[in-house]
A and B are shown apart, each in its own frame.
Chain A
Amino acid sequence: MSGNERFDCIVVGAGPAGTAAALTLARAGVKVVLFERGEFPGAKNVMGGVLYSKTLNKLVPGFWKEAPLERPVIEQNLWMLSSDSVAKVGYRSPRFVPGHAAEGGVPDEGPANAFTVLRAKFDRWFAQKAVDAGALLITETAVEDLLWENGKVVGVQTGRDDGKVYADAVIVTAGLHALNSLIPKMADGRLGIKPEHVALAVKQIIALPKEKIEDRFNLPAGMGATIELVGASTSGLTGISFIYTNADSISIGAGAMLSDYVKSGKHPYDVIEDFKAHPAIKPLIAGGEVKEYLGHLIPEGGYNAVPKLYGDGFMVAGDSAMLVNSVHREGSNLAMESGRLAAETFIKAKERKDYSARSFAAYRDALDKSFVLKDLRKYRGIQHYLDSHPQIFLSYPEMVSEAAFRFLNVDEAPKAEHEKMMVQAVTNRRSMMGLLSDLWAGWRATR
């Protein structure tokens, strides 16, 4: 690539959003370059990770027959941890894994609802799809700035010598931090993103033999399970932990609001090690070998923190646009859908040769009509709700634990007494009015 080569469109970052955009553009015959700062696509990318099929299957029909996926998810669980106990709810259904042979054969029809994935492997495969379709992928190249002319984005400044590259438009899918660096409109004085808008998550990959994973999680061969945890799993911080089964490893991690970390002074590596040592968790990972340690920020500002999504000569998608639905653990599918919609918008704009903000406003409209912003709008109150109701994460799991113990423990005390103690276990921690108000506010926040 010479210094003055021109493209129709530049995509910054080969994650799910950027690759979805580049793939869609290349298929439509758009001359597109996809920049990736990592050694390969995925080298810098981290998620829990559960990948939902629906959006990807629109982009790469039949993807599950060839993509590097870990396990189709047949069962999902929510565990509430107290300091030494656990209360569990879960749901398992073959309807989550249609067409997947029960004994681990190659699936032939319909993808599972979701798969566990490891992003360094998955993103590499996905980006190759865009390359096969005709996109030019340039790795090990950081985009350091957008190039502006008369208030319009006309290209990017890369970190390479002679590193200016020009195009009719730039699609920014460079992760959360692009909000503070590439998109100057967000940098109003201080940083655009605040510690209350992000969760700091750390994760470990723990290798275990396939059969051990299937035994311990009670799984049919080849199938996977997810567990999300609240309560003692995050050492008193507002957050959620997770355990996901991969093919021959476990992804285990803990995420908590960065603002909580700043306030508490806790170390993230202590939080995850404490979590691993919990008596309900330890047997699941016993004998495993820790293969990798990872950390990542998750944009959780929600609908109210979504930035301006387009302007003259640019559009923003994926984490760079805060498109994460933290209530439903969805992010990569919102990234892919937003990347695809940005690309579709560009393709239409190209027909009119109009790359202005007015032309790209269609991108915002398309997102508004899609599940991406419909879902974020539905949960727009949730961040404030959780901020102002920390008891949901902190005292409720202890309350549930205490009540369950009172109900289930057999000690020859009359059951009527048990019932009374159970109610007390709850009301000692939160009054009836408090409970009702938490419920009501929670219901309101998700309407």
Chain B
Amino acid sequence: MSVDASRSAGGGPAPAAAPDVKTQAQGATIATGTEAKRLSIDDLLYLIRYNPDDRGHLRVINDDICREKCVKYGYACTRFCPAQVYKWEENHVSVSWEGCIECGACRIGCPFANIDWKYPRGGFGVSFKNG
């Protein structure tokens, strides 16, 4: 699957390739012998069960700060976010909050405290099957 093309920047509709509300994907990889397939972040996100809200809970506060100050970190959040919520798109960081797994690394790890961070509203967001 490819989510990249359909992933929206900040607050748009849920990406078409993301799992539906409260459906759960089957396992992502069947390895043959010892040759396990390397999983991409999109493969991994597809395994997660979400109850997506229609409003975003994450927001970049000031795009200028990303553009002007975060180059030397390679746009930090786009690298360390384990769910690749943040992506560099030409001149700003896009926020696919639908795929957030609510670890909060972006809130603490953004070198410029430039992310307006909240948990999703009660009952929404990620809903782990195993934990």
Measured between alpha carbons, how far is A294 from B79 in the docked complex, in Å?
17
B80:A43 contact, CB within 8 angstroms: no
For residue B102, which residue of chain A has the nearest CB?
A: A44
Q: B74-106 interface mask toward A, CB cutoff 8 Å, 1 = contact, 0 = none?
A: 101001101110000000000000000111110
What class of interface size applies to chain B in its complex with A?
Answer: 35 or more
Q: Is the CB of A120 within 8 A of B128?
A: yes
| B83 & A295 in contact (Cβ 8 Å cutoff) | yes
A194 to B131, CA, bound (A): 25
In this assembly, does B47 line the interface, its C-beta being within 8 Å of a C-beta of chain A?
yes
Which of B3-11, B12-20, B38-46, B61-69 interfaces with chain A?
B38-46
CA distance A149 to B48 in the complex (A): 41
Query: Cβ of A200 and Cβ of B105 under 8 Å apart?
Result: yes
Contact between A142 and B27, CB atoms less than 8 A apart: no
Chain A, 15-70, CB within 8 A of any chain B CB: 37-39, 42-47, 49
Name B's interface SS: loop
Determine, out of A71-79, A263-271, A387-395, A412-420, the stretch whose residues face the partner at the interface: A263-271
Report if A38-B80 is in contact (Cβ < 8 Å); known contacts: A44-B102, A141-B122, A289-B30: no
Q: List the A residue with the shortest CB-CB distance to B76.
A: A262
CA distance A195 to B105 in the complex (A): 8
Question: Using Cβ atoms and an 8 Å threshold, which residues of chain B touch A283?
Answer: 34
Evaluate contact between A289 and B27: CB separation under 8 angstroms.
yes
User: Contacts A141-B122, A290-B27, A297-B105 given: A46-B128 contact, CB under 8 Å?
Assistant: yes
Q: CA of A163 to CA of B32 in the docked complex: distance in angstroms?
A: 53
Q: Can you name the residue of chain B whose Cβ is closest to the Cβ of A294?
A: B128
- The smallest C-beta distance from B84 to any residue of chain A, in angstroms, reads 8
* Contact between A198 and B130, CB atoms less than 8 A apart: no
Which residues of B have CB within 8 Å of A276?
36
In the complex, the answer to whether A286 meets B36 with C-beta atoms within 8 Å is yes
A86 near B: Cβ within 8 Å? no
- A267 vs B119: C-alpha distance in the bound complex, in angstroms? 22
Cβ-based interface call for B29 (8 A): yes
Set of chain B residues within 8 Å of A290, measured between Cβ atoms: 27-29, 39, 43-44, 47
Bound-complex Cα distance A292 to B126 (A):
12
Cβ-defined contact, A194 with B108, below 8 A: yes
**B31 / chain A contacts, CB cutoff of 8 Å:** 285-288
* Complex partner residue of B82 from A194, A200, A262, CB under 8 angstroms: A200
Is A120 touching B131 in the complex (CB atoms < 8 A)?
A: yes
CB neighbours of B45 from chain A (8 A): 293
Q: Which residues of B contact A123 (CB under 8 A)?
A: 131
Which of B76, B84, B130 neighbours the largest number of chain A CB atoms within 10 Å of its CB? Answer: B130
Knowing A120-B128, A265-B73, A267-B80 are in contact, say whether A291-B27 is a contact too (CB < 8 A). yes
Interface residues of A, count at CB 8 A: 66
A327 at the interface (CB under 8 A from B): no
> When chains A and B are docked, how far (Å) is the Cα of A269 from the Cα of B40?
8
Residue A425 lies at the interface, judged by CB distance under 8 Å to chain B: no
Task: Give min CB distance, A410 to chain B, whole Å.
Answer: 27
CA A118 to CA B131, docked complex, whole Å: 5
- B129 partner residues in chain A, CB cutoff 8 A: 120, 291-292
Whether the pair A142, B128 counts as a contact (CB closer than 8 A) is no
Q: Which residues of the partner chain B approach A202 to less than 8 Å between Cβ atoms?
A: 82
| B109: A residues at CB distance < 8 A | 195, 200, 258-259, 261-262
| CB 8 Å contact bits of A117-145 with B (1 = contact, 0 = none) | 01111110000000000000001111000
Q: How far is the CA of A177 from the CA of B44 in the complex (A)?
A: 25
A293 touches B48 (CB 8 A): yes
Q: How far is the CA of A285 from the CA of B74 in the complex (A)?
A: 33
A37 near B122 (CB under 8 angstroms)?
A: yes
Instruction: Kindly state the separation between the CA atoms of A140 and B122 in the bound complex, as whole angstroms.
Output: 4
Residue pair A294, B131 in contact (C-beta under 8 Å): yes
Instruction: Please report the C-alpha to C-alpha distance between residue A205 and residue B24 in the assembled complex, in whole angstroms.
Output: 14
Please judge, given known A-B contacts A269-B44, A293-B48, whether A262 and B127 are in contact too, CB under 8 Å: no
Q: Assess whether A446 is interfacial by the CB under 8 Å rule.
A: no
Q: Known contacts being A292-B47, A293-B48, is A285 close to B36, with CB within 8 Å?
A: yes
Docked-complex contact A193 and B108, CB < 8 angstroms: yes
A202 vs B39: C-alpha distance when bound (angstroms): 14
Docked complex Cα distance between A205 and B82 (Å): 16
Q: A residues touching B (Cβ–Cβ < 8 Å)?
A: 37-39, 42-47, 49, 118-123, 139-142, 158-160, 176-177, 180, 190-191, 193-195, 197-198, 200, 202, 204-205, 207, 249, 258-259, 261-262, 265-269, 273, 276-277, 282-283, 285-297
15 examples of A-B residue contacts, CB within 8 angstroms = A37-B119, A44-B127, A46-B128, A46-B131, A120-B130, A193-B108, A194-B108, A200-B103, A200-B105, A258-B109, A287-B31, A290-B39, A292-B48, A293-B101, A297-B105
Supplied contacts A200-B103, A269-B44, 16 more A-B pairs, CB within 8 Å = A38-B123, A120-B129, A120-B131, A180-B107, A191-B107, A200-B82, A204-B44, A261-B109, A262-B109, A265-B76, A269-B40, A286-B36, A289-B27, A290-B27, A290-B29, A291-B129
